[in-house]
Chains A and B, each alone.
Chain A
Amino acid sequence: MKFKFLLASLVLGLSSTAMAGGAQDAIDAAKKAQKEAAAVGMEWRDMGKTIKKAEEAAKDGKEKKAIKLANIVVMQSKESLKQAELAKTAGPRF
């Protein structure tokens, strides 16, 4: 299924996304990414929730976890911008 592929590419993508810069940088980037997705009408449901979780993790001193969560949102936003691009020419296939 396409969805599995998407998940897999999300997970793979994580390891290549910046780990340096600390949790706050990652969370700021996630927030910016969420805004970009919303601006093209393609925000995913759990972006806000995931950012909140990242913030909680950061507060608890779990920097690695916070960065990981924030990076998920950044990856999701990239996918959603692709969806927005494709949406411009969306139409029936019959």
Chain B
Amino acid sequence: MKKLISSVALLIIALPFVTVQASTPAEDTEAFRSYFKKAVPDVKFEDFQNGVYALDADSREQWIEIEEFPPYELAIDKGTELWEKPFKNGKSFASCFGEDISGTRAKYPYHDEAQDTIVTLEGDINKCLTDNGEKPYKWKKGNIAAVSAYIAYEGRGKKVDVHPKTDKAKAWYDKGKKFFYAKRGQLNLACADCHVYNFNRKVRSELLSPALGHPTHFPVFRTKWGEMGTLHRRYGGCNKNIRAKPFKAQSDEYKALEYFQAVMSNGLELNGPGARK
């Protein structure tokens, strides 16, 4: 009898796993990479950190031109200043992140098992402020992008290294994956429609970047914005372009999306802050 019960229990436990699609995040990453490798065999894996500028010589030249006088330098300066300025209670960002922040950028995004949420760098910057009785920054640009740019700059050279391990973490990953591949908005387009299936093609006058490498260089100075912006600001812009109502920066939807995009870009070098047209 006991045996019967336990084998029934086993069946019930096993059942959902049989019906659910079997690919793991690591397998997804592998398939994602091979897709891009096949599509543009001349582009080296490590160059995908440079977005559209990786795709051809013309764009590459534009990039070298931009990097000669990096427009994000002011933001790094501002970020350094904010980093060093003590809070009213005498503490500072270093009290939250530590003095050595060379590994800080690479820690994010990660899944917090106890809170069951995705923790982002921007989320922790504002948490540090509120924990110390300071007012949080606005989410998409300005001071938050400056502090994020400083931390990104100090953390250059480390690699994207995000691995969902627990079931809860995988659920967040799946949420982000669905978001990425789901068509939405009046134009009925998914992120993947532009940044996977049609990357390296032009939409109006803009070359579409590969999704592989998307999160490596944020925050970004975008010429069109004339200022810095976070990854979630960019997500909002892309959602608006397809006439979907954007989600709020740091919403669960965008945090899951960031998490998924990071897993897809595992192994690429973090090279933020970046500059784009």
The answer to whether B32 has its CB under 8 Å from any CB of chain A is: yes
Enumerate B165-212 residues with CB–CB distance to A below 8 Å. 177-179, 181-188, 190, 192, 196-197
Q: Are A44 and B244 in contact (CB under 8 A)?
A: yes
Residues on the B chain within 8 Å of A39, using CB: none
Q: Are A83 and B183 in contact (CB under 8 A)?
A: yes
A76 with B244: in contact, given A87-B178, A92-B28, A94-B31 (CB under 8 Å)?
no
Chain A proximity of B229: nearest CB distance (Å): 19
* Residues A94 and B183 in contact, CB atoms below 8 Å apart: no
Docked-complex contact B178 and A45, CB < 8 angstroms = no
Total chain B interface residues with beta-carbon distance under 8 A: 28
Give the complex CA separation of A56 and B184 in angstroms.
Answer: 28
* A45/B186 in contact, CB under 8 A: yes
- The residues of B with any CB-CB pair to A shorter than 8 Å are 21, 28, 31-32, 35, 177-179, 181-188, 190, 192, 196-197, 239-240, 243-247, 253
Contacts of A46 in B (CB 8 A): 186, 243
Residue of B whose beta carbon sits closest to that of A43: B245
Chain A, interface residues (CB within 8 Å), range:
20 to 34
Give the residues in chain B near A6, CB-CB below 8 Å: 186, 188
Which of B28, B178, B188 has its CB near the most chain A CB atoms (within 10 A)?
B188
Contacts A38-B245, A41-B253, A45-B244 given; does A92 touch B32 at CB 8 Å: yes
Give chain A residues whose Cβ lies under 8 Å from the Cβ of B244. 42-45
**CB-based nearest B residue for A48:** B245
B183 and A45 contacting across the interface, CB-CB below 8 Å: no
Residue of B nearest to A5 (CB): B188
Q: Which 8 A-B pairs have the closest CB atoms?
A: A87-B182, A90-B181, A90-B182, A43-B245, A45-B243, A94-B35, A44-B186, A90-B178
20 contacts between A and B (CB under 8 A): A2-B188, A3-B188, A38-B245, A44-B186, A45-B239, A45-B246, A83-B183, A86-B182, A86-B183, A87-B178, A87-B179, A87-B182, A90-B182, A90-B183, A90-B190, A91-B177, A91-B181, A92-B31, A93-B197, A94-B35
What is the minimal beta-carbon distance from A37 to any residue of chain B, in angstroms?
Answer: 8
For the A-B complex with A3-B187, A87-B182, A92-B35 known, give 7 more contacts whose Cβ atoms are closer than 8 Å: A6-B188, A38-B245, A91-B177, A92-B28, A92-B196, A93-B197, A94-B196
- Chain B residues closer than 8 Å to A44, beta-carbon distance: 185-186, 243-245
Chain A 36-94 residues near chain B, CB threshold 8 A:
38, 41-48, 76, 79-80, 83, 86-88, 90-94
